[in-house]
Structure 1
Amino acid sequence: MNVKDNSQKILPNKIERLKLFGSVEPGPKHKPTEKDKMSDLQNLQKDFLFELDAVGITNVKYPVILKSKLKPYTQNSIGTFTFTSSIKQTSKGTNMSRFMEQLELYSKNGFIFELNTLKEFTKELAERLGQRDATVEINTTWFYERKGPSSQIAGLNHADINLIVSYHQDSGYKVSAGLSVFVTTLCPCSKEISEYSAHNQRGNVSIQVSLTEDFNEDEFDWKYALLEAAESNASSRLHPILKRPDEKMVTEGAYENPRFVEDMARLVAADLYELPYVKSFEVTCQNEESIHMHDAIATIRYTKE
């Protein structure tokens, strides 16, 4: 049996402890410390074989502020950012620090997750980089209130959303928005062939849309529109809080609205087709099958003429 020695230890000082674990004294330094005297390799100008379509930084996490048509009307979330621009064949690299400088400038009073802010940000980023274009993508989580259908007891659901804004000094802006949310689907085949009951599963609906140039975010809440396209075409919406009368309504409602993934994809596509500010869209519906080891998936891509 080992007995611990609990007697008081006399430790070496902090500097000696660091040396014990590998720290060494700084060596001689000969390179300049003033910025204007340092080598600037990334701004080197030569023929570097190819132009690069996108160079920048990704997986940048920063606080963002969301405005919502559904409660809570103003909410704080965390955005995951990707910043890129193209660079010419004659440029070796981009100025990485300028991406974060731009973000910090906009974040001082809170970064607003909205198109007007993002358009302004992207254009200024291209100018700060000295490039002809820039693209910014933000992924974040949007919360929205959902009440039980009978009890009306409220809780918060959430969906993953994104905005992608590209700016080019010649062609202007391209804007894309997306949403991914969980729903309930009930199998039509199971309902048809079974004497009683039908298997159901949790489904994920992912939507990405390209928005028209005249889209007005003050007039339309794209988050709400994409959410409604996904949830209203499912067998049932998901709820954070369900009492027994709520559960009865949700269960029976799902049974009355059976959906294959193919059905879901087509119905969501129809709703998106009718939105006047959507130019093109991609819809993917994926079910975590409850009676199989695999998932079921269906995708539609469509561009309006």
Structure 2
Amino acid sequence: MRSFPPKEVRHQLFGSVPPSLGTKPCQKEDMTDIQKTEQDFYFHLEQVGICRMSYPVHIMSKTAPQHQTTAAAFTLSTSLAAHQKGIHMSRPSEQLHMFYESSKPLDVNALKELTAALALQMNQSTASVHVSFPWYMEKQSPVTGKSGLMHATIKYDVHFHEKDGWTCHVGCDAQVTTLCPCSKEISEYGAHNQRGSVSIQVKLFEHAPLPDDMKAALLQIIESNASAPLYPVLKRPDEKKVTEEAYENPRFVEDMTRLIAIELYEQPWIQGFQVECRNEESIHQHDAYAKCSYEKNL
């Protein structure tokens, strides 16, 4: 059996060198803090911080599983005055970890606390947190009651201003079934259908009472205005039910966008909204697309 020199010697062979003794200080209090430099740096920055930060979060849901842990993608930022060179980039990470250690469920109220704490620690007038994560829900097939898990993507965008308070947006991205009204009208046999993708973002009234579970409320608005919802498990009786339900509720992408917009408009807790719908056309290589935005006059 072949023998080799010790690991340290092997590393030296492949280029490793001893640490440099160096001349710069090693203690934090003795180190120069370039980020604290103050002079005219020309521009105020609206947002400075970290993005694509993946962290586990706790989610509460009205639907099963009611308690779940999932991985969320975070962006945390604050403003930066023109006379300040930069922020301390470690502090947003510290705030996020403290939020994680608190074990608080991720919701709008928790993110309000996080943004206010971030602005205070960074000594800035504003702070923002954007987070997106998969939310899982158990769904039963419509006839046989077979259970499985599906997910939608939930997005929170919370902005804090020391004088104006908070601006909060909540989004939901989900998939549905749509059936073409034109195909149903002109075809002797059946109609073509496809999977539709819906993305909605709503702006919340600051002091309005909110639903117990905004995630479930937004998903219900999406699914109830499509031709039919999707299910994780379908047996033949379920497939018959879903196919016939879609045939009874044909929807152009324009139809679905407008129907969702109407229901969002009717919610007293929603100040404004944006709806985007996209159908993965089964008889085309391209997708069909529609978008609608609205904000209520105060």
- TM-score normalised by structure 2 residue count: 0.97
Deviation (angstroms), 1:27: 2.3
The answer to whether the Cα contact below 8 Å between 2:158 and 2:167 also exists between their aligned partners in 1 is: yes
Deviation (angstroms), 1:74: 1.3
Deviation (angstroms), 1:207: 0.3
2:70 aligned residue: 77
2:36 aligned residue: 43
**Take 1:280 and 1:12, find their aligned partners in 2: how far apart are those partners?**
69
Alignment of 1:146-295 (within 5 A): 146-217=139-210, 219-295=211-287
Deviation (angstroms), 1:302: 0.5
2:85 aligned residue: 92
Q: 1:102 aligned to 95, 98, 115, which one?
A: 95
Q: Which amino acid aligns with 2:122?
A: L
The ranges of structure 1 where at least 4 consecutive aligned residues each deviate by more than 6 angstroms after the TM superposition are: none
**Take 2:42 and 2:33, find their aligned partners in 1: how far apart are those partners?**
20
The answer to whether the Cα contact below 8 Å between 2:208 and 2:268 also exists between their aligned partners in 1 is: no
The answer to whether the Cα contact below 8 Å between 1:206 and 1:284 also exists between their aligned partners in 2 is: yes
**Take 1:296 and 1:172, find their aligned partners in 2: how far apart are those partners?**
39
Deviation (angstroms), 1:110: 2.2
Deviation (angstroms), 1:220: 3.2
The answer to whether the Cα contact below 8 Å between 2:200 and 2:276 also exists between their aligned partners in 1 is: yes
Percent of aligned positions that are identical: 48
What do residues 5-61 of structure 1 show as CA deviations (whole Å, max 9, x unaligned)?
xxx221121111212222112223000111111111111101001000100000111
Q: 1:31 aligned to 4, 21, 24, which one?
A: 24
CA 1:111–1:20 in 2, change beyond 3 Å: closer, same or farther? farther
Q: Which amino acid aligns with 1:298?
A: A
What do residues 133-167 of structure 1 show as CA deviations (whole Å, max 9, x unaligned)?
10011111111121111001111111000111111
The answer to whether the Cα contact below 8 Å between 1:181 and 1:206 also exists between their aligned partners in 2 is: yes
The answer to whether the Cα contact below 8 Å between 1:63 and 1:110 also exists between their aligned partners in 2 is: no
Q: Which ranges in structure 1 are unaligned for 5 or more consecutive residues?
A: 1-7
Deviation (angstroms), 1:303: 0.6
The answer to whether the Cα contact below 8 Å between 1:204 and 1:285 also exists between their aligned partners in 2 is: yes
**Take 1:42 and 1:302, find their aligned partners in 2: how far apart are those partners?**
41
2:47 aligned residue: 54
Deviation (angstroms), 1:216: 3.5
Q: Which amino acid aligns with 2:223?
A: E
The answer to whether the Cα contact below 8 Å between 1:187 and 1:199 also exists between their aligned partners in 2 is: yes
- TM-score normalised by structure 1 residue count: 0.95
The answer to whether the Cα contact below 8 Å between 2:50 and 2:76 also exists between their aligned partners in 1 is: yes
Deviation (angstroms), 1:111: 4.3
What do residues 181-213 of structure 1 show as CA deviations (whole Å, max 9, x unaligned)?
010111111111111011111110000000011
Matched, 1:10 2:3: yes
1:296 aligned residue: 288
Matched, 1:142 2:132: no
Deviation (angstroms), 1:259: 0.7
The answer to whether the Cα contact below 8 Å between 2:127 and 2:161 also exists between their aligned partners in 1 is: yes
Q: Which amino acid aligns with 1:257?
A: N
Q: Which ranges in structure 2 are unaligned for 5 or more consecutive residues?
A: none
